[in-house]
Amino acid sequence: MHIKVKYFGQIAEVTKSEEEVIEFSGCLISELLDVLYSKYPVLKNKDFQVAQNQELVTFKTEVSGNEIALLPPFAGG
Amino acid sequence: MSRYSRHIILSEIGQIGQDKLSNAKVLVVGAGGLGCPVLQYLAAAGIGTLGIIDFDVVEESNLHRQILFGTSNLGQNKANAAKTRLEDLNDTITINTYSYKLDYQNALELFNQYEIIVDGSDNFETRYLVNDACILTNKPLVFGAIYKFEGQVSVFNYQNGPSYRCLFPNPPKKDSVPNCSEIGVLGVLPGVIGSMQANEVLKIVLGIGKVLNGKLLCYNALTSQTSILKINKSETEISKVLKEQDSFHKKALLSNCGFESIEISINSILDNEKVQFIDVRELNELPKIENITITSIPLSELKNSIHKIDSEKKKVIFCQAGIRSKQAVSILNNLNISNCYSIKEGASEIIEIINNRHYTEGTNQAICSKQ
């Protein structure tokens, strides 16, 4: 299936894009992340949370939506 | 009163709403990029009691985004400088300033004096401290954070909603996320995000609209796109904080965790602050600093000279270039001696700065005041 993946903050700097479509045949968010880790190894060292269809989910959640977002924490003020 | 007439004619606010604003008590943590617009709008809106906590001083590199300050404020404490500006904007409200660092020892007592806490801090250590203190004092937290061209806004711990730890359970790995001073920020970005935070405060106080409770708003200044993501409450994360309630005030800020927390400028040392100045250079190193009381402990002897360190005072350590002083802070922290800071200026710069200030000797403390 095709998944639209959106990137924020430092994550978008690693992927050099704000969103892209990933071809994915697995089941869990963690498996989708494995696909992204092999494409962008630096991501493994980054802190982020994942949202699916605009809702924060755990990495053990099943991929059921068509839009995933990778969200890092920001420190600045 | 004509000051609030444009609020009062709104049927959603009216005199009743304006009275709610004037009875509200809001504490803003950090008077920086986010804190400045938050404070400006809350003061203008007539929030009756505003608290401002910030230990930092105004620097020239702040002026492109910290809109309450001008060149005449350089070197002044941010909380005090903000108060001066805000009193001119609205002299009918009460503004309390706290020109010191928020820590585990003072947070709960301070938060208890206010109804809403706004986080405008610039490091994760303070953000988690603010979040946990809001859980323990049961105060809503209006959160804002920025990174280069992007910002996040949310309201945590509001009406039994999620906390920041429900979104990001633990602080990120040390040094993995840079802050504004290290990486830069678009000047207008904190203006946008801070204004959104001020708006959330007004909605909470007035009881109108939909508060960003359990929702994280993400804004990108370059694409003008906003996304709103739903955050679910994690009882596990919140109960972890509640379980540590009794030991909360015993925790120490890990100075190596914050980005700028151990390094301060000599300019940030305040009038009447109880300070022990410690010179960690070797005894023969020049120039010597005169006019203020100095404890000389060469770095090599520091571990064996703990008896010379005054536990009651803030320890302010300097050397020739600001490197050994940082090592000294780290050594002292490892010996469980807290409240230690490294002066980023070297000895000759310090002399130049204190020559431009007038120091009066107290028995045990250097009292400094600007001429």
By percentage, how much of chain B surpasses pLDDT 70?
Answer: 91
* Rounded Cα–Cα distance for residues B224 and B310 (Å): 53
Vertex B269: Cα angle to B122 and B329 (nearest 5): 70
**CB-based contact, B214 to chain A, within 8 Å:** no
Q: What pLDDT is attached to residue B175? A: 56
B230:A45 CB<8 A: no
Any idea which of B91-95, B130-134, B270-274, B347-351 has the lowest mean pLDDT? Answer: B270-274
Domains of chain B (ranges; CATH) run 2-250 (3.40.50.720), 263-370 (3.40.250.10)
Q: What is the pLDDT of residue B261?
A: 55
d(CA B231, CA B214): 5
What angle in degrees, to the nearest 10, is found between the helix axes of B188-206 and B14-23? 110
Closest CA to B140 of B121, B104, B115, B165: B115
Q: Does residue B216 belong to the interface with chain A, where contact is any CB pair within 8 Å?
A: yes
Instruction: Give, in degrees to the nearest 5, the angle at Cα B272 between B101 and B275.
Output: 65
**Residue B192: closest CA among chain A residues belongs to which residue?**
A77
> Hey, what are B355's tokens?
């020559």
CB contact under 8 A, A77 and B122: yes
Which residues are registered as beta bridge partners of A76?
B146
C-beta separation of B98 from B70 below 8 A: no
Q: pLDDT tens-digit profile of B229-278?
A: 999 999 999 999 999 999 998 888 764 333 345 788 888 887 778 899 99
Residue B33: list chain A partners with CB under 8 A. 76-77
pLDDT at B269: 82
Give the pLDDT confidence of B22-57 residue by residue, as tens digits: 999 999 999 999 999 999 999 999 999 999 999 999
Eight-class DSSP state of B213: B
What is the set of domains in chain A, with CATH numbers? 2-71 (3.10.20.30)
**Which value, in Å, is the radius of gyration of the alpha carbons in chain B?**
22
Q: Does B228 touch chain A (CB under 8 A)?
A: yes
Contacts of B190 in chain A (CB under 8 A): 76-77
Give the list of residues 6+ apart from residue B304 with CB closer than 8 angstroms, or none: none
Average pLDDT value for residue range B355-362: 58
Residues 6+ apart with CB under 8 A from A35: A22, A24, A26
- In the A/B pair of chains, how many CB contacts fall below 8 A? 89
At residue B272, the pLDDT reads 76
pLDDT band of residue B370 (cuts 50, 70, 90) is: very low
**Beta carbons of B315 and B309 less than 8 angstroms apart:** yes
pLDDT band for position B188 (cuts 50, 70, 90)? very high
> Who among B32, B220, B231 is closest to A77 (CB)?
B32
Give the angle B6-B7-B12 at the CA atoms, nearest 5°.
130
Max intra-chain CA distance, chain B: 73
* A69 contacts in chain B (CB < 8 Å): 227, 229
What does the pLDDT look like over A7-54, one tens digit per residue? 999 999 999 999 999 999 999 999 999 999 999 999 999 999 999 999
CB nearest A77 (choices: B33, B216, B229): B33
Residue pLDDT, tens place only, B207-225: 999 999 999 999 999 999 9
What number of CA atoms fall less than 13 Å from residue B327's CA on the CB side? Answer: 14
Q: Is the ipTM here above 0.85?
A: yes
Q: Is the pLDDT of residue B312 over 50?
A: yes
More confident residue, B153 or B337: B153
**Residue B179 pLDDT > 80:** no
Please report where in the chains the tokens 């869990």 appear, as a residue.
Answer: A28
What pLDDT score was predicted for residue B332? Answer: 85
What DSSP state is assigned to residue B224?
T
CA torsion B140-B141-B142-B143 (nearest 10°) is -160
C-alpha span between B285 and B208 (Å, rounded) = 64
Task: Check pLDDT > 60 for residue B361.
Answer: no
Average pLDDT for chain B: 90
Say how many C-beta atoms besides its own lie within 10 A of residue B210's C-beta. Answer: 7
Using the CB atoms, write b or e for B122-144: b if 16+ within 10 Å: bbbbbbbbbbbbbbbbebbbbbb
Q: Give the three-state DSSP class for B343.
A: strand
Q: Say yes or no: B163 contacts chain A, CB-CB below 8 A.
A: no
For residue B260 the two structure tokens come to: 């700028």
